[in-house]
């Protein structure tokens, strides 16, 4: 990196957003520390904002606020919670453009995708929990017992940068619905949207202490929240290595832990599939959000006899997936979130080449006109074997691996040949056949013939992709304790 680029990285952008306070107990309060964390636009490396680098003391204050608020909020009416969730959904609708543009600047997500996935999905999720509460059964009777469901207590959330607001709302909305109170530590790469959320929750009248926001580092704020004796549950989304540390920290206080971690998901094309449709879809299934998606279908497993049909379509589609300015509505692939993430993806491409995979699209070359950002060419490898690093490890960038198979048994072995199990896809002209194949995949979610994401269905993984579920009724129940009350017979 030359000195001009170093200088450029340090320059604030024209629309610098400085948030110098934390949201605790319904008020914006100074951090007990004096440091701040800067937020970089990965498209041009301009500094677009800053937030407090929160401390252990800040985390403790936020947990105290959540604990003190829990008594009243846990007894709040279902009607009040429904109203709050509807109001939050309305706020997302009213501020959609503002939020989408901010997240595009923080993460580099193409603006049209931001409007749908980064704002539209949180809006729908909030509304879905309001709808769920209208008919949710909080009690049931089993012989001489009354089984009641109660809010678990104070919840701590540590969230990632790739879908920052969606991952936050996937935790905040069910916690509100359940009657829990909470402390959020957003990602340090993309925290500004969380501050907008706090503004919105304050505006709609969520009672003080129910939601608290402490920005900072995982090593300080995150570690304190995961080990805090007054936190009853921690929900973490991020890398598997970090999730293991969260679980280890939480074990000391025997709190509930939900983890949504990495993925290396398989997209299987069966022999009778519409190969043209499957091949075209495979690019967006892998490259959406510039490949920075935990549930991306990054391993395309195809019949050996169909390779000649599928690979040229994939190459053509990948080459049309041009990286560019994410604020341009025509852009489909933005930058990696940081210089570190860009270098990580490039290193995986180097490994793929050195280990013998065939590079058929993309590669290591820089992109003319985009040198100031953290851009990577959308890349496709064929001849990828199960012994290769790019087959085994989550790349978290726009890199697709294609592998052939001889028969369906081999296809299933290849699909399940991963330490992860978050998502998957199956293509077949016979839906019943595809469903039977999907049932044998060791993964938490499978899309049949490109079936769309459902915010009311449970989302989560098998194996090292985590434990617990988010979204829908299953997501709500992660925030509930179950009590049996026995009557005399």
Same-domain status, 275 and 220: no
Same-domain status, 109 and 16: yes
Same-domain status, 166 and 270: no
Same-domain status, 252 and 350: no
Same-domain status, 209 and 311: no
Q: What is the CATH number of the domain that holds 154?
A: 3.40.605.10
> 303, 309 in Cβ contact below 8 A?
no
Closest by Cα among 30, 47, 28, 29 to 39 = 47
Same-domain status, 81 and 106: yes
Q: What is the DSSP string of 380-433?
A: EEES--TTSHHHHS---SSEEEEEEESSHHHHHHHHT-SSEES-EEEE-SSHHH
Residue 461 lies in a domain: no
CA–CA gap between residue 458 and residue 472 (Å, rounded): 6
Q: How many CB atoms neighbour CB 139 within 10 A?
A: 10
Structural domain count of the chain:
2
Q: How many CB atoms neighbour CB 311 within 10 A?
A: 20
Q: How many CB atoms neighbour CB 342 within 10 A?
A: 18
Pairing mode of beta strands 256-260, 36-40:
unpaired
Report pLDDT for 473. Answer: 98
Q: What is the DSSP string of 133-183?
A: HTT---EEEETTEEEEEEE--EEEEE--SSSHHHHHHHHHHHHHHHT-EEE
272 DSSP 8-state letter: T
CA–CA gap between residue 267 and residue 449 (Å, rounded): 10
CA–CA gap between residue 443 and residue 419 (Å, rounded): 10
Same-domain status, 21 and 40: yes
The domain of 76 spans 3-261+466-484
Q: Which residues of 246-280 are buried (b: 16+ CB within 10 A; e: fewer)?
A: bbebbeeeebbbbbbbbbbbbbbbbbebebeebbb
**pTM for the whole thing?**
0.95
> 424, 445 in Cβ contact below 8 A?
yes
Report pLDDT for 14. Answer: 59
Same-domain status, 212 and 145: yes
Residue 290 lies in a domain: yes
Report pLDDT for 287. Answer: 97
Low-confidence ranges of the chain (pLDDT < 70): 1-15
275: its two tokens:
């190969």
Residue 451 lies in a domain: yes
CA–CA gap between residue 8 and residue 3 (Å, rounded): 9
Same-domain status, 243 and 269: no
Report pLDDT for 16. Answer: 84
The enclosing H or E element of 201 equals: helix 192-203
> 88, 173 in Cβ contact below 8 A?
yes
Same-domain status, 168 and 79: yes
Same-domain status, 158 and 286: no
CA–CA gap between residue 302 and residue 273 (Å, rounded): 10
Catalytic residues: 260, 294
Report pLDDT for 11. Answer: 55
Report pLDDT for 294. Answer: 96
Strand order across the 145-151 sheet = 139-142, 145-151, 480-486
Same-domain status, 287 and 390: yes
Residue 489 lies in a domain: no
Pairing mode of beta strands 22-24, 27-29:
antiparallel
Residue 303 lies in a domain: yes
CA–CA gap between residue 150 and residue 233 (Å, rounded): 14
Residue 323 lies in a domain: yes
Residue 460 lies in a domain: no
> 407, 293 in Cβ contact below 8 A?
no
Q: What is the pLDDT of residues 14-61, one digit of tens each?
A: 568 999 999 999 999 999 999 999 999 999 999 999 999 999 999 999
Q: What is the CATH number of the domain that holds 359?
A: 3.40.309.10
At residue 260, the 3 state secondary structure works out as strand
Residue 315 lies in a domain: yes
> 409, 430 in Cβ contact below 8 A?
no
């Amino acid at each position: 990196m030359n000195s001009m680029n170093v200088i450029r990285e340090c320059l604030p952008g024209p629309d610098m957003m400085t948030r110098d306070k934390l949201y605790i107990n319904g008020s914006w309060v100074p951090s007990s520390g004096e440091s701040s964390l800067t937020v970089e636009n990965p498209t041009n490396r301009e500094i677009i904002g800053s937030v407090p680098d929160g401390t252990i003391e800040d985390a403790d204050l936020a947990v105290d606020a959540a604990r003190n608020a829990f008594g009243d909020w846990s007894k709040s009416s279902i009607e009040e919670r429904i109203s709050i969730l509807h109001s939050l959904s309305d706020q997302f609708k009213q501020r959609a453009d503002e939020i989408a543009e901010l997240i595009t600047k923080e993460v580099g997500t193409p603006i049209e995708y931001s409007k749908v996935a980064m704002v539209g999905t949180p809006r729908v999720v909030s509304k879905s929990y309001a709808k769920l509460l209208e008919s949710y059964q909080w009690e049931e009777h089993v012989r001489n017992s009354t089984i009641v469901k109660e809010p678990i207590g104070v919840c701590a959330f540590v969230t990632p940068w790739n879908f920052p607001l969606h991952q936050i709302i996937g935790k905040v909305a069910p916690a509100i619905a359940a009657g829990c109170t909470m402390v959020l530590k957003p990602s340090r790469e993309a925290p500004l949207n969380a501050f907008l959320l706090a503004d919105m929750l304050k505006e709609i009248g969520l009672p003080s202490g129910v939601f608290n926001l402490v920005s900072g580092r995982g090593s300080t704020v995150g570690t304190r929240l995961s080990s805090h004796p007054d936190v009853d549950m921690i929900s973490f989304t991020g890398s598997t290595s970090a999730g293991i540390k969260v679980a280890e920290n939480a074990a000391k206080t025997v709190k509930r832990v939900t983890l949504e971690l990495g993925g290396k998901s398989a997209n299987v094309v069966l022999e009778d599939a519409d190969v043209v449709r499957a091949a075209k879809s495979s690019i967006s299934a892998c490259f959406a959000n510039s490949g920075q998606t935990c549930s991306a279908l990054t391993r395309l497993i195809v019949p050996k006899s169909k390779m000649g049909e599928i690979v040229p379509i994939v190459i053509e589609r990948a080459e049309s997936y041009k990286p560019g300015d994410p604020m341009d509505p025509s852009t489909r692939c933005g930058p990696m979130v940081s210089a570190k993430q860009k270098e990580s993806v490039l290193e995986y491409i180097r490994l793929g080449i050195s280990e013998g995979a065939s590079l058929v699209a993309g590669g290591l070359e820089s992109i003319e006109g985009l040198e100031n950002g953290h851009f990577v060419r959308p890349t496709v490898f064929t001849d990828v074997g199960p012994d290769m690093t790019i087959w085994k490890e989550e790349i978290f960038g726009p890199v697709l691996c294609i592998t052939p198979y001889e028969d369906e048994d081999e296809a299933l072995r290849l699909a399940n040949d991963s330490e992860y199990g978050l998502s998957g896809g199956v293509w077949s002209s016979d839906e019943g056949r595809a469903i039977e194949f999907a049932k044998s995949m060791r993964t938490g979610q499978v899309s049949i013939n490109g079936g769309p994401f459902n915010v009311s269905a449970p989302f989560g993984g098998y194996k090292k992709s985590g434990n617990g579920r988010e979204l829908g009724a299953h997501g709500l129940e992660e925030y509930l304790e179950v009590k049996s009350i026995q009557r005399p017979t």
